[in-house]
Structure 1
Amino acid sequence: MPYVASRHNSLIAHVVTIVFGLIALIILLHLAFVLLEANAGNPLVAFFADLANWFSWLFRDMFTVDDPKVRAVVNYGLAALVYLLIGGAIAGAGRRWAHD
């Protein structure tokens, strides 16, 4: 039976895409707070900082750059990119698996 591409994706692929996208969004929102020098004592800023730190624990101090903003862009940006790539890869594999 030949493979026929379809626009219908599995529910699991959508859920994986949404979950990994939300994780990347949390990390990028924290990065925006860092770049805009948001008040770290604000409960919302602290909440997103805690979440972003938890999700990006492998990447937080990967590169040591003297400027804290550049360090945040590199480390947290890398973490967000990795989450997007992993989520896309898992969702793509799920879509291909659903069509087989």
Structure 2
Amino acid sequence: MIVHIVTIVFGLIALVILLHLAFVLLEANPGNPLVDFIADLANWFSWLFRDMFTIDDPKARAVVNYGLAALVFLAVGGAIAGAGRRWHH
């Protein structure tokens, strides 16, 4: 049960980050309340990765930095879920 919750939580965090990345790439209106809210969440969750690489092109920078953050959340969530499944069985 807890393994499923961890998997869902980490997956939702990665989804928020990827949704923000899609908004950046598709040039969504930053003044839109939903876009702004998702950006705030994504920035909070990816604070370690947000400015890791300083690439000149803002879209490429977003893909690398936010993409890395999403991959890390998916990997950590998967590792925790895998360890939980092994421990449970």
Residue among 31, 53, 59 paired with 1:41: 31
1:47 shift after superposition? 0.1
- Between the aligned partners of 2:80 and 2:65, the Cα distance in structure 1 is 23
Q: Runs of 4+ in structure 1 displaced over 3 angstroms?
A: none
Whole-angstrom CA distance in 1 between matches of 2:39 and 2:80: 26
The CA deviation at 1:49 is 0.1
Which TM-score applies when normalising by structure 2? 0.99
Matched with 1:30 is 20
1:58 counterpart = 2:52:
no
2:37 match: secondary structure: helix
Unaligned runs of 5+ in 2: none
TM-score (structure 1 length as normaliser)? 0.88
* Corresponding pairs, count: 89
- Could you tell me which residue of structure 2 aligns to residue 77 of structure 1? 67
* Higher share in helix: 2
Superposition deviation, residue 61 in structure 1: 0.3
1:20 is aligned to 2:10: yes
Structure 1: runs of 5 or more not aligned: 1-10
Deviation at 1:30, TM superposition (A): 0.2
Q: Which amino acid aligns with 1:20?
A: F
Aligned identity (percent) is 85
